[in-house]
Amino acid sequence: TERSLVLVKPDGFARGLTGEVLRRIEAKGYRLAALAVTTPDTDRLHRHYAEHEGKPFFEPLVAFMSSGPVAAVVIEGERCIEGFRALAGATDPTAALPGTIRGDLGRDWGEKVQKNIVHGSDSPESAEREIGIWFPEL
């Protein structure tokens, strides 16, 4: 069965939305396989966001992601990668549809970093790579 790496990003964690995100994951029927709260260092984030290196939002994104605790979660279930991205909604929380995590709970705060509450792996290859970064013991 498929696994995905979900992060409740610093904005979502600080707003107390971790429980709400986990509730939606469990209500959908996915299992929680690992769960940790940690403030990631920039080395870990450079590895996590390697595909975005060189883009204009890369350094602000890394700075934001290292600014406070996140909840890192491994979820499990058939097609949970695609399924969690559907739960999360579009990257831009203003455009994300109501009913999704970002659409219901996110907005534009007028900052250069796009704060959008959650991360979810985008492919099986990304998921296994990211799980190795956040949970090397798994």
Residue numbering of the annotated binding site: 9, 57, 85, 91, 102, 116
CB of 123 to ligand GTP, least distance (A): 10
Q: Which stretch binds ligand GTP (CB under 6 A): 16-24, 39-47, 109-117, 129-137?
A: 109-117
CB of 67 to ligand GTP, least distance (A): 13
Tokens of 137: 């013991």
CB atoms within 10 A of CB 30: 25
Amino acid code (one letter) for 125: E
Interacting residues with ligand GTP between 27 and 46 (CB under 6 A): none
100 binds ligand GTP (CB under 6 A): no
What does the alpha-carbon distance between residue 128 and residue 6 come to, in Å, rounded to a whole number? 12
Query: Closer to ligand GTP at the Cβ: 33 or 126?
Result: 126
Q: Write the CB contacts of 44 (distance below 8 Å, at least 6 apart in sequence).
A: 133, 134
* Residues 63 and 57: beta-carbon distance below 8 Å: no
Where are the strands (E) in the chain, listed by range? 3-8, 31-38, 70-76, 118-120
One of 26, 36, 38, 57 touching ligand GTP (CB under 6 A)? 57
Query: Closer to ligand GTP at the Cβ: 51 or 78?
Result: 51
- 28: phi > 0 → left, psi -120 to 50 → alpha, else beta; which? alpha
CB of 113 to ligand GTP, least distance (A): 6
Query: Closer to ligand GTP at the Cβ: 64 or 77?
Result: 64
Q: Tell me which residues touch ligand GTP (CB under 6 A).
A: 57, 61, 91, 112-114, 116, 119-120, 122
